[in-house]
Amino acid sequence: MPADSKDDSRHESPGLDRFEMVRRAPSHRLQGVVTNMCGFRETMPGHFRAIEYASLTVPLVISFAEPFAIGLGRDPSDNDRFASFAAGLYAGPVVIESCGGTCCMQVNFTPLGARRFFGRPMSELTDRMVGLDDVLGVEGIAFRERLGNAPDWSSRFAIAEAFVGDRLATADRTQADIVWAYETIVSTRGRTRISTLAEKLGWSRKHLNGKFSDAIGTGPKTLSRIVRFNHALGLSRQSNSAWADIAADCGYADQAHLVREFRDLAGVAPTALAAR
């Protein structure tokens, strides 16, 4: 679909006309809650496969056509088909397959933003895809219908912005201690000791894990692993540094430790991943 000249959406065609992708950054109202929104439509038939690596993105996917086949840490089976759904954090690779007939909109939340938007413990979404009707009820079904009836991506983005903003207006604020602990892990690129976080908060590690499970969906150790992995991956794509140097810069015990983490969180060795 053509871009509206008054719209700040960004149109992309990375798939050699295999699909259309339109991205929009969140408005100021949604910053810190939503990282971006994306419209996606496949434009030719075929069997397509993509792998997403462990990240801090919590997606809400609204489908208008065929579902995706999705497998967590494995190839999807015939029973692993999902249309409109939300998915929490997963510390591993996600395999996504389609047959050329998908069309959807995706709202990507931060972990803490997702907790406020969905209004439920994020542990209920961890390591799984949860259907739209289960995660948002009749409100979610009505939201999907409005998006489906919209004439273009710009209109869909506007509807989504308003829907997310309205839910946030009545949502509880995240506990300041959890925000601080989360931001500390992210800002130190996963190198902060969990015992140090617990000590500074005056909490036991068990209490800290429980708070993280509710607010983010994983414990602080798993969150740190994901943050450190993404930092290492970014470094590998930005420089010609040796893997041993990247391992040291990112706080891994040694290169073998880095390799194990890449295999767990991306499903492949670091050398194979950096080349993609």
- Over residues 19-40, the pLDDT tens digits come to 899 999 999 999 999 999 999 9
Q: Do 163 and 31 lie in a common domain? A: yes
Alpha carbons 153 and 35: distance in angstroms, whole number: 17
Alpha carbons 215 and 57: distance in angstroms, whole number: 14
Residue 255 lies in domain: 176-274
The answer, yes or no, to whether residue 121 has pLDDT greater than 90, is: yes
Quick one: 176 exposed, middle or buried, by C-beta within 10 A (0-12, 13-18, 19+)? exposed
Q: Which of residues 122, 150, 169 is at a domain's end?
A: 169
For residue 11, what pLDDT is reported?
55
- Helix 176-187 × helix 205-215 angle, to 10°: 90
Q: What is the mean pLDDT of the chain?
A: 93
For residue 3, what pLDDT is reported?
37
Q: Indicate which CATH number applies to the domain containing 202.
A: 1.10.10.60
Residue reference for tokens 């989360």? 182
Q: Do 163 and 69 lie in a common domain? A: yes
The answer, yes or no, to whether residue 174 has pLDDT greater than 70, is: yes
Is there a contact between 181 and 80 (Cβ–Cβ < 8 Å)?
Answer: no
Q: Do 155 and 24 lie in a common domain? A: yes
Q: Do 240 and 165 lie in a common domain? A: no
Nearest to residue 97, comparing CAs of 121, 116, 77? 77
The pLDDT confidence band at residue 2, using thresholds 50, 70 and 90, is very low
Q: Do 54 and 147 lie in a common domain? A: yes
Q: Do 45 and 157 lie in a common domain? A: yes
Q: Do 40 and 141 lie in a common domain? A: yes
Residue 1 lies inside a defined structural domain of this protein: no
Q: Which of residues 147, 169, 191 is at a domain's end?
A: 169
Residue reference for tokens 């939201």? 143
Distances (CA, A) of 31 to 14, 112, 118, 165, 209: 26, 12, 16, 11, 26
Q: Do 165 and 184 lie in a common domain? A: no
Residue 5 lies inside a defined structural domain of this protein: no
Residue 184 pairs in a beta bridge with none
Q: Do 106 and 130 lie in a common domain? A: yes
- Report pTM: 0.92
Phi, psi dihedrals of residue 97, rounded to the nearest 5°: -125, 150
Percentage of the chain beyond pLDDT 90 is 88
Q: Do 88 and 157 lie in a common domain? A: yes
pLDDT digit string, tens, across residues 204-242: 999 999 999 999 999 999 999 999 999 999 999 887 889
For residue 237, what pLDDT is reported?
87
Residue 60 pairs in a beta bridge with 86, 107
Number of separate domains in the chain: 2
Q: Which of residues 169, 196, 223 is at a domain's end?
A: 169
Q: Do 153 and 205 lie in a common domain? A: no
Residues contacting 197, CB < 8 A, separation 6+: 181, 184, 185, 208, 220
